[in-house]
Chains A and B, each alone.
Chain A
Amino acid sequence: MSGHPIQWAALLLCVLGALLRVPGVRRGRGRMIFAALVLMAIAVALSLPPIYLPVDGVLGGWNAANLVIRLSLYAVVVLLGLRMAAAFGAERVRTLIVGPAGITVLLVTVAATLILFALSDLPVSSTGLAEYAGQPTVEQYADIGRLYPGYVSACLVVPAATGSLRSGSRPAHRIACFLLAAGFFSVLCFAVLELFQGLDLGVFEVVLPFGAILLVVSGLTLIWFSRRRGRPRQRNPLA
């Protein structure tokens, strides 16, 4: 088993989405989203055994690569969250992410992640720490890793969904907002559902998180295309 097709699709889309933005980044445009896409590509790549195992080998073979995934995803979530909040003019969401409460949640999450990782016994490289699924600290480590993205996604679902319902917006933006809202909702569902011990999500174990990545990156890429093609509406408003 070398990864589900949806994981490869997500990786491909992240890489493509990032490559599209390279010229803009060199002119100093959209750096945060570019960084988020690159980090997302790294995280997705490391979820695939053929990439995870060699990389973790280079890092020493004690599953440090999994820690890289977690921390990258936290950074992705913060970067995307901030840009989305600004894009949707959602001042409250910004406060929830980088206000005192948001920063506290982030610091606690990072600290808990590092501590739980240190407490776990992970002697041999294992993609997604699948071989250590029984360890309580590993379970909690995984739960925490889903909760922070779930928290930020929960903040973003409503502004994104509102954007998709706005009749005055460009159709491309409404579609993009819908994709983003659907993606955030998947992240939220995944974080909440995984909390229930013994609930077998089956194929959704993979489809929910990686589908979310596909949705979010598609939305971002659609907006990128829309900006490239977009011109101000030319009709004389006083005519």
Chain B
Amino acid sequence: MAVTAKAFQLWRQEIAPTDSVSDLCRSAGIKRSTLAQQLVRGKVSVSTLLAVARGYGLDPVCALAQFEGYTDLLTGMRAPTSAELLSQVSHRDILKLLVARGEGIGNGLSDLDPFPHRNSVRAWVEAIDPGDLRQQLSERSGIARQNLSAQLSAGRLSPGLAIEASRIAGVSLTSGLVVTGLLTCAEGGWPVTGRADALNALSDTDLVLLARDRLDALGKQLRKADADENRDRAIWDNLG
């Protein structure tokens, strides 16, 4: 959900009364044409807004919280749950820890793969899902179920939907913005070592079960990708 150009302009005059649009873009490190286009369309994207806030040294979450639809952001910001943190650990790190524990060469990992990873968004949605998250999300936001699925498959989730999902699941409202890469860990209130701590705290059993679930999901994904590839190949071989 983008913010209105009008609200953005008012906010811009507040934070940088003397700067032109060009100055603003230079400070924020965004393209002038991008912002100009968004202003003409009457909607400024959340990522643009966050870039501008960062450019002027403002706290991105505080800045976003001044806009309609996001006003509960600050009060709804909490520490992430362990499930959320684990959802952002890559399967490779999970397997590394499993092997390390099996070989008796250490109980914990400290250097995790960066995130968001390829499945960050879907993994997060599954981690916070109380059971009918997609259903509720589509009812409340009016987005069709298959469009929601398409976004998740493509590794995307619009900021509005991400926050709405957090509201439904009762988790920190900034989590969705962190896992979609709009906010950094620090900005979104995720402790820097949070993921590693959550991973290392797992019992052996939970670690193995987590690894199984991840490999299961990965296997399904690969099988689907193989099937797609084979279909493409059949079309090339027979008609190309």
Contacts and interface: CB of A to CB of B under 8 A. Distances in A.
Contacts of A8: none
Contacts of B144: none
A223 B239 CA distance: 7
Interface stretch (A46-54, A65-73, A167-175, A181-189): A167-175
Interface string A57-69: 0000000000000
Interface residues of B, number: 21
A224 B229 contact: no
Nearest to B221: A237
A111 interface: no
Interface stretch (A113-121, A138-146, A227-235): A227-235
Interface in A28-44: 30, 33
A88 interface: yes
B238 A237 contact: no
Given A33-B239, A88-B235, A220-B239, 6 more contacts: A87-B237, A89-B234, A169-B232, A224-B240, A227-B236, A233-B229
A88 B234 contact: yes
Contacts of B240: 30, 223-224, 226-228
Given A167-B150, A167-B153, A83 B229 contact: no
Nearest to B146: A167
Given A30-B240, A226-B240, A237-B222, A168 B234 contact: no
B98 to A, nearest CB: 15
Interface of A: 30, 33, 83-84, 86-89, 163, 166-170, 173, 176, 220, 223-224, 226-228, 230, 232-233, 237-239
B228 interface: yes
Given A169-B231, A173-B232, A87 B238 contact: yes
Contacts of A166: 228, 231
A152 B70 CA distance: 57
Majority-rule SS of B interface residues: helix
Contacts of A33: 238-239
Top 3 closest A-B pairs, CB basis?
A227-B240, A168-B228, A87-B238
Contacts of A233: 225, 229
A227 B235 CA distance: 9
A237 B229 CA distance: 12
Contact of B234 (A86, A226, A228, A232): A86
A33 to B, nearest CB: 6
A86 B239 CA distance: 9
Contact of B232 (A84, A170, A237, A238): A170
Nearest to B231: A169
A128 B224 CA distance: 49
A173 B229 CA distance: 12
B224 A87 contact: no
A169 B234 contact: no
B225 A168 contact: yes
B238 A230 contact: no
A232 B232 CA distance: 10
Nearest to B238: A87
Nearest to B150: A167
A232 B233 CA distance: 9
A168 B239 contact: no
Contacts of B221: 237
A223 B236 contact: yes
A57 B237 CA distance: 40
A168 B227 contact: yes
A84 B239 contact: yes
B115 to A, nearest CB: 13
Nearest to B230: A89
Contacts of A88: 234-235
Contact of A230 (B153, B236, B239): B236
Interface string B176-198: 00000000000000000000000
Contacts of A86: 234, 238
A167 B225 CA distance: 11
12 contacts: A30-B240, A84-B238, A84-B239, A87-B235, A87-B237, A87-B238, A89-B234, A166-B228, A166-B231, A168-B231, A169-B228, A233-B225
Interface string B188-231: 00000000000000000000000000000010011011011101
Nearest to B218: A238
